[in-house]
Amino acid sequence: MTMDSRSVGRLQALLQDASASTRMQAALTAGSRPDPTFVGILIDRCAIEPDFTVRDTLTWAITRHDPTQTMPLLLEAARSTPPQARSQALHTLSKVGAPGGWEAITPQTLTDPDDEVARAAWRAAVVLVPRGVEPDLAQTLAAQLGRGDRDVRRSLSRALVSLGEAGAAAVDTALAGDLSDEARTHALATLRMVEDPEEGFDAATFEARRIVALRNAPTIRDTDHGRSAT
């Protein structure tokens, strides 16, 4: 049964309230009483909602609705211009978990210049990837080793670890190429996490930096050559 227009208008007004707790309660109510007329309002709010907890509640509310109603609008939002709209739509698609969500995972999305969009795409991709496509996905992810700050690199490592053998193979292939020291460190840290999922990203990175530093250290022969040239 569809809610009347007053309920729709009230939801819109509450989601624009200055209080984050009021907005979160509105999202909770919308998810507890699903209605097709709420879907567009909830997805539109995701694009501009400043509070992380409220955005997460909005996502939950969207997942409580019929995927046949939410998927078309989420796919459209994943292709929209505002980065927050794209990242939140991708995040929500991963929570919905419907196979059709893979349509939003493109090479452009996976390599989006906005780090938050890319991270959301990586997380969604490892959930939605069809069987047999894991090696291609892993190759696209591994090509970005060394990207961004610590949080971005940790997200990329986790995505590659989630892909198991396909992720490890893609990182091994990358290591055989001409990587920067930062990318090589990131790759080695990722492989350590594949081998030991209990090892944290920071500990794995610390050990990887040590290995790269030793690799770059001058040998005795290099040192002797430098002396003879002076």
- Which secondary structure element, helix H or strand E, spans residue 142, and what is its range? helix 134-142
**Which tokens go with 4?**
């009347």
pLDDT value at position 29? 96
Q: Which residue has the higher pLDDT, 5 or 156?
A: 156
Rounded to an integer, the average pLDDT of 32-38 is: 95
pLDDT value at position 198? 87
pLDDT value at position 20? 98
Domain annotation for the chain: domains and CATH numbers: 1-128 (1.25.10.10), 133-230 (no CATH)
pLDDT value at position 1? 40
- State the amino acid at position 166 in one-letter form: A
DSSP 211: H
pLDDT value at position 224? 54
Q: Has residue 223 got a pLDDT over 70?
A: no
pLDDT value at position 3? 52
The C-alpha atoms of residue 131 and residue 140 are separated, in whole angstroms, by 16
Give the whole-number percent of the chain exceeding pLDDT 70. 93
**Which tokens go with 145?**
């080793």
pLDDT value at position 6? 82
pLDDT value at position 215? 86
Length of the chain: 230
pLDDT interval class at 230 (50, 70, 90): very low
pLDDT interval class at 216 (50, 70, 90): confident
pLDDT in tens, 42-64: 999 999 999 999 999 999 999 99
Q: Residue 24, class by beta-carbon neighbours within 10 Å (0-12 exposed, 13-18 middle, 19+ buried)?
A: buried
Give the whole-number percent of the chain exceeding pLDDT 90. 89
pLDDT in tens, 127-158: 999 999 999 999 999 999 999 999 999 999 99
Residue 122: C-alpha distances to residues 11, 43, 112, 138 (Å): 32, 20, 10, 10
pLDDT value at position 228? 46
